[in-house]
Amino acid sequence: MPRTPACVLLLSAGLAAATAAATADEYDGRTNQLRVAAPRIDAQIKVDGQLDESAWQQAATLVGFSQYAPADGMTAQYRTEVRVFYAPSYIAFGIRAEAPPGSVRATLANRDHISNDDHVQIYLGTYHDGRQALMFAVNPLGVQADGTLVEGAGQTTRALGAIQVGRPAADLSADFVFDSRGHLTPDGYEIEVRIPFKTLRYQSADTQAWDIHVIRVVRSTGHEDSWAPARRAAASFLGQAGTLEGLTGLRRGLVLDLNPVVTSLVDGIGSDAPDAGWHYDASYPEAGGNVRWGITPNLTLNGTINPDFSQVESDAGQFVYDPRDALYYPEKRPFFLDGIEQFTTPNDLIYTRRIIAPVVAAKVTGKVSGTGLAYLFAVDDDVTSASGHDSPVFNLLRVQRDIGSGSRAAFVYTDRIDGPNANRVAAADTWLTFRGIYSTQLQGAVSLTQQFGETTTAPLWQANFTRNGQRYVMRGTLRGVGDAFRDDAGFVRRPGIVNADLVNGVNLYGARGAAIERWSGDARLQGTWRYDDFVNRRASQDRKLHLNSDFDFRGGWRFGQSIYIESFGFDEEFYADYRLLREGPSGPDILPFVGTPRLQNLDFALSATTPRLKGISFNAFAIWGKDENFFEWAPADILLLEADVEWRPTERLRVDAIYQEQAYWRRTDGSTVGRRRIPRVKVEYQVTRPIFVRVVSQYDGELQDDLRDDSRTDLPIVIWDAASGTYEPALGFSRNSLRTDVLFSYQPTPGTVVFVGYGNTVADPDTYTPPGRQRVADGFFVKLSYLWRL
């Protein structure tokens, strides 16, 4: 064989080097190559899920993923490759994910319903502050989920299960306009994502750097893999992100979104008159609309007139575990969801669902020179006012300032002015991180309420300290809400109390391939005081010791168990309207209801979560034992049960079934004092990515016995009735209802929708177990909206 001349070898080597230079650089997360110079390529791509255009060969490539959950630090089991480049008007990501044949789980789901699928999450911190990010997630078929993540806005301890370290969950409320497609391959899947700069808020600098995190969720193993080698034992997840640097020449153009909305509702109701039949109240179509204007790349103005509620199915039923606590329902109206992360505050001092039926509203959100600004103004309908003819006015302001590399300080002001009455709240809070694993959150607030010519003030305060260690975790919280504290623009779960919460937890990790991948255990101490008792150093009212233990097994299985040792004190204020009825020689006597001073509880809990097997996944928990009976303030045997089954028989069909039960039996004679059952079934068929049909049916059966003083005298209980001005017997009842909602949905992009729905409620006020037999309400619902991006 003739020898190749040296000049030819040199030429070949030069060509190879030139070819390598023309292709993208690789950035290996495991070797901390986290500063990414994504190329700027002036090209248009067709988002079809195929990474075959020349731009992808020049894109920067992120490789070297590490396992993040359930244990961090190990090399990812399967290779993931993420390519990224940007054009003048968008940023693009191309994803190749390797997986064994047949192991990838993907369905043609509705938006934000891909948590049980394999998927990839892209976090973009466009303000490069390590504190907040937008999240764009896509499953292997290109189905989208999106939301926001704000760290330090309100850390909470899980109520069920052992404490764990790791990233907080993103809020999926917001919907962003972006393009994505994907498809399965013989050795995994490919995804293509394009995010227009019109969708984003970012800094106004000519040259920018953005935070970037990429998480891959592998459902067959139950693992999460991260490109940046993030540690779970850290005060901040976003603070460990990589960086997209050198971004220049970003052009959003005119950012002006017009979103007209037309809704029409026809409500049917029966008449009380005999043989009067069924009547429908057909409201005329109502028109409204939203507008979004990008004043600058980092400031956005939103306005709305007569925004629709966008509630196309009834809220899922919730059980009241402690009747002293209010129930929380999330915001769902599109206008209020845009930029909602800027209004996030500890203790939910801003809760936009307090604006019930806004006539007009406007807000400005953004971040300038390290200071986040969010202001909302709204005028509510006069039917929501105390007088019935005033229009309540809301002002909500949240200002946040970055401190150091990962901390912040913030101020909140809210008011609701209703004619001569007003409620105002001012608050300051801060989130500080230090030494990598420690964080503390402090908040102080005061409310001023003017009502019927009287003015009252009251405080709210909170201090939280967290240690996010690899093995040892500790969280402590002390929170107080004054008796007269009111926040008419926020959500106060329960005023007039002080809560102390201290959790010490341990996490142990198995080696790769071990049957038990992680064990988490903790001991949680809680105390609750009446506010005045705490200030005057009196004993706590409620005391709890919870012992929790969770096992994470290979393949995504999880089991947990808990023991609850509790002591509840008699709450005189809650039972202020309770009395006892005693028949005496001269007639009935009304006696004080004093209650047993203290109830001792001992409960047990089990929980289980399975991976998806043959299209079925299961999640359930049960609590049983001796607990307080709030109906009568007496000991009871209880059962709290919730089971959730998800079935994906095909790529397009989804069936979700949830069963909840809450039951209390008297320990004196075993009789039932209260019981409630709520089964709920949701069936969805995804015709195409933008079109689906949904049927939701929820049954609610409730039973309550005649109430008596079961813990002391066994006398009947009577309760003050303001309408009659007398004490009325607390008589038992049984009732049930069945609500069914049918919806046709066409939603090609957020903001452009066609909803056609029908809802029907049948009920029986005198029966507990059979489905309701009498139709009490139904209605037809139509919503049409279109998003113009000018």
Q: Which helix (H) or strand (E) element contains residue 271?
A: none
Cis-peptide into 70, omega within 30 deg: yes
Assess contact for 122 and 212: CB atoms under 8 A: yes
- Nearest one of 119, 129, 125, 114 to 99, comparing CA atoms: 119
Domain map of the chain by residue range? 6-248
**pLDDT score of 428:** 97
Distance separating alpha carbons of residues 343 and 354, to the nearest angstrom: 14
The residues that bridge with 721 in the sheet, in sequence order, are 726
Task: State pLDDT tens for residues 496-543.
Answer: 999 999 999 999 999 888 999 999 999 999 999 999 999 999 999 999
If you average pLDDT over residues 256-284, what whole number do you get? 78
**The pLDDT of residue 159 is above 70:** no
If you average pLDDT over residues 192-220, what whole number do you get? 95
Q: Where are the alpha helices (DSSP H) in 525-597?
A: 531-535
Q: Which helix (H) or strand (E) element contains residue 9?
A: helix 6-22
Assess contact for 330 and 491: CB atoms under 8 A: no
Residue 772 backbone dihedrals phi, psi, to 5 degrees = -60, 145
**pLDDT score of 586:** 83
Task: State pLDDT tens for residues 551-581.
Answer: 999 999 999 999 999 999 999 999 999 999 9
**Could you give the angle at the alpha carbon of 598 between the alpha carbons of 593 and 599, nearest 5°?**
105
The structure tokens listed for 228 are: 């940046």
The string of DSSP letters for 160-190 reads SS----SPPPPB-------EEEEEEETTEEE
The string of DSSP letters for 515-536 reads SEEEEEEEEEEEEEEEHHHHHT
CATH class of the domain comprising 6-248: mainly beta
Tokens 């995504």, located at residue:
556
- Nearest one of 642, 566, 656, 512 to 66, comparing CA atoms: 512
**Could you give the angle at the alpha carbon of 469 between the alpha carbons of 157 and 232, nearest 5°?**
80
Tokens 């080696």, located at residue:
511
Region of 655 please: left (phi>0), alpha (psi -120 to 50) or beta: beta
User: 105-109, 123-127, 158-162, 306-310: lowest mean pLDDT where?
Assistant: 158-162
**pLDDT score of 10:** 38
Residue 514 backbone dihedrals phi, psi, to 5 degrees = -70, 150
Mean pLDDT for the chain?
90
Task: State pLDDT tens for residues 45-100.
Answer: 999 999 999 999 999 999 999 999 999 999 999 999 999 999 999 999 999 999 99
Cis-peptide into 597, omega within 30 deg: no
Tokens 């195409």, located at residue:
688
- Nearest one of 659, 697, 664 to 681, comparing CA atoms: 697
Tokens 């040296």, located at residue:
6
**The pLDDT of residue 445 is above 70:** yes
Residue 58 backbone dihedrals phi, psi, to 5 degrees = -95, -10
The structure tokens listed for 450 are: 């003017």
The structure tokens listed for 137 are: 């997630």
As a dihedral over the C-alpha atoms of residue 156, residue 158, residue 162, residue 164, rounded to 10 degrees, the angle is -40
Assess contact for 437 and 235: CB atoms under 8 A: yes
Distance separating alpha carbons of residues 273 and 259, to the nearest angstrom: 43
Tokens 């000519």, located at residue:
206
- Nearest one of 343, 352, 337 to 487, comparing CA atoms: 352
Task: State pLDDT tens for residues 133-155.
Answer: 999 999 999 999 999 998 876 54
If you average pLDDT over residues 721-737, what whole number do you get? 93
DSSP symbol at 705: P
Instruction: Output 481 or 368, whichever has higher pLDDT.
Output: 481
Residue 763 CA neighbour count, 13 Å, CB half:
16
The string of DSSP letters for 755-771 reads EEEEEEEEEETT-SSSP
Assess contact for 149 and 133: CB atoms under 8 A: yes
Distance separating alpha carbons of residues 671 and 95, to the nearest angstrom: 60
Task: State pLDDT tens for residues 745-755.
Answer: 999 998 899 99
Q: Which helix (H) or strand (E) element contains residue 335?
A: helix 334-337
**pLDDT score of 404:** 83
Assess contact for 315 and 330: CB atoms under 8 A: no
Instruction: Output 620 or 323, whichever has higher pLDDT.
Output: 620
If you average pLDDT over residues 174-180, what whole number do you get? 93
The structure tokens listed for 143 are: 């189905």
**157 — pLDDT class (breaks 50, 70, 90):** very low
**652 — pLDDT class (breaks 50, 70, 90):** very high
The structure tokens listed for 751 are: 């903001």
Distance separating alpha carbons of residues 434 and 235, to the nearest angstrom: 8
Task: State pLDDT tens for residues 359-394.
Answer: 999 999 998 888 999 999 999 999 999 888 899 999
**768 — pLDDT class (breaks 50, 70, 90):** confident
Assess contact for 349 and 394: CB atoms under 8 A: no
pTM score, whole prediction? 0.88
**pLDDT score of 9:** 37
Q: How many residues does the chain have?
A: 790
Assess contact for 380 and 358: CB atoms under 8 A: yes
The structure tokens listed for 440 are: 């503390």
**The pLDDT of residue 675 is above 90:** yes
Query: Please, what sign has the CA dihedral across residues 66, 72, 78, 80?
Result: negative
Assess contact for 35 and 245: CB atoms under 8 A: yes
Distance separating alpha carbons of residues 202 and 190, to the nearest angstrom: 28
The residues that bridge with 191 in the sheet, in sequence order, are 95, 182
Beta strands in 578-714 (DSSP E): 578-584, 587-592, 598-609, 616-629, 634-647, 653-666, 672-686, 691-704
**17 — pLDDT class (breaks 50, 70, 90):** very low
Assess contact for 36 and 63: CB atoms under 8 A: no
Assess contact for 477 and 488: CB atoms under 8 A: no
Alpha carbon 49 to chain centroid, angstroms: 29
Tokens 């959150």, located at residue:
441
What whole-number percentage of the chain has pLDDT above 70? 93
Distance separating alpha carbons of residues 287 and 302, to the nearest angstrom: 17
Assess contact for 140 and 108: CB atoms under 8 A: no
The amino acid that residue 299 corresponds to is L
Kind of pairing, strands 60-63 and 26-28? parallel
Q: 124-146: b or e for each residue (b if 16 or more CB lie within 10 Å)?
A: bbbbbbbbbbbbbbbbbbbbbbb
Instruction: Output 714 or 270, whichever has higher pLDDT.
Output: 714
Q: How far is CA 19 from CA 12, 93, 612, in A?
A: 10, 22, 44
Query: Please, what sign has the CA dihedral across residues 199, 201, 203, 205?
Result: positive
**pLDDT score of 276:** 60
The structure tokens listed for 776 are: 């009490």
Residue 100 backbone dihedrals phi, psi, to 5 degrees = -60, 145
User: 18-22, 266-270, 555-559, 622-626: lowest mean pLDDT where?
Assistant: 18-22
